[in-house]
Amino acid sequence: MSLPFSTPPSTATASLTPFQAAIPKAKLIELETLLKLAKFAPPTYENSLTDRRYGVTTDWLVTMRDQWLRSYHWKSTEDRINSFPQYLTEIEGLTLHFVGLFSEREDAVPILLLHGWPGSFLEFLPILQKFREEYTPETLPYHLIVPSLPGFTFSSGPPLDRDFGTGDIARVLDQLMKGLGFESGYVAQGGDIGSRIARHLGVDHESCKAVHVNVVFMRKPDGMTNDHLDAFEIEGIENAAKFATLGSGYAMEHGTRPSTIGHVLSSSPLALLAWIGEKFLEWVDDPLASNDILESITLYWLTETFPRAIYCYRQNYPAPAIPASNEPRWYIHKPFGFSSFPMELARMPRSWIETTGNLVFWEQHQKGGHFAALEQPDELKADLVKFVDQVWPGITGAE
């Protein structure tokens, strides 16, 4: 029996294979064994500081390992994943996995939702859940497509025989959306790496008609001073500078030695928990539930995602780094929307964001951090709906 919201548009031309997550029992037993055998570091000054200025503490790691073994159950995650329609399709020799809620309305607006690292399609499941609770397949105003980026979770790739970056991801995803029947237009939304991919789509691909993001990676615009900024905006700039100095060591490792760190974190689930768990602790506003953290890290481990998913960081090294969003090449001339969350790692002022695109929608939130879709699903959903309702009639010529 097919799931609700699982029928693609009649205009779809892509060959789609229905998918269900099904991790072999042997992999789950291996994970449990490795966790039981994992050795912790000896006590040090650094790993005992409760403010985590030097990284995760031993106490936290021990507690999370025990929860992983005793109270977390992958089957519950697997069942939740499989409650949503999922498909596999082939594009440029890659197998691409996506979760989709398809509407039966002919006027439904296609929306592409893009995650980053250390995220996955799991980030958007709370938003999808809210949409399917609010609507039926007959009334849903949108088609919601959440791909696993190449190299992440159930998607294959990136290719082994050539370089591959955010521009390549955008090209593949544009083909996905066209293959699903959305060649006449779709909206892209993204955070983290997904925001860069969304910008590629908005700038380089005609079928992407509008872009909404919740982070922009950029330099200070030329000729602009801080005189007009308020204290909240200056705080955001200062926090971004602090992160670049004290919080970006992981990114340098990903970008300069992806092979080495890939081997290291593929050898131990406890190591993966420390490396990724730190981000789920530090990059949020209110703490995430332990179960949410374990869910994401378990998915990464069971699908061997980490070493396959950090390739985009190589674009930043060696200098010069990947072009900043405020360079003329990357200006979004199409309708551009932005949702600002206070604990975002690179929270830039509106006046700066306006230099990177045709900003027609802006919303400043009081809560939320880097994982906005997971932390504040109601707010991000509401912003996306308002943005699409604002820009789509003008794009399509509808009244």
C-beta of residue 101 within 8 angstroms of C-beta of residue 136: no
Q: In the beta sheet, which residues pair with residue 187?
A: 111, 210
- The catalytic residue among 72, 186, 250, 313 is 313
Q: What is the Rg, in whole angstroms, of the alpha carbon atoms belonging to the chain?
A: 21
333 carries an active-site annotation = no
DSSP string of 158-188, one letter each residue:
S-SSS---HHHHHHHHHHHHHHTT-TT-EEE
CA angle 332, 335, 337 (to 5 degrees): 90
Give backbone dihedrals phi and psi of 76, rounded to 5 degrees, phi first: -65, -40
What does the alpha-carbon distance between residue 272 and residue 270 come to, in Å, rounded to a whole number?
5
Task: Record the tokens describing residue 312, joined without a space.
Answer: 């985009």
Angle between helices 166-179 and 193-204 (to 10 degrees): 70
Give backbone dihedrals phi and psi of 223, rounded to 5 degrees, phi first: 80, 5
All residues at 6 or more sequence positions from 92 whose CB lies less than 8 Å from its CB, including other chains: 171, 172, 175
What does the alpha-carbon distance between residue 114 and residue 300 come to, in Å, rounded to a whole number?
17
Task: Record the tokens describing residue 380, joined without a space.
Answer: 């991000």
192 carries an active-site annotation = yes
DSSP string of 265-305, one letter each residue:
HHS-HHHHHHHHHHHHHHS-SSPPPHHHHHHHHHHHHHTT-
186 carries an active-site annotation = no
- The catalytic residue among 97, 143, 212, 370 is 370
Q: Which residue type occupies 234? A: I
- The catalytic residue among 168, 174, 192, 292 is 192
What does the alpha-carbon distance between residue 121 and residue 125 come to, in Å, rounded to a whole number?
7
What does the alpha-carbon distance between residue 369 and residue 374 come to, in Å, rounded to a whole number?
9
Task: Record the tokens describing residue 291, joined without a space.
Answer: 């179960």
Query: Which of the residues are catalytic?
Result: 192, 313, 370
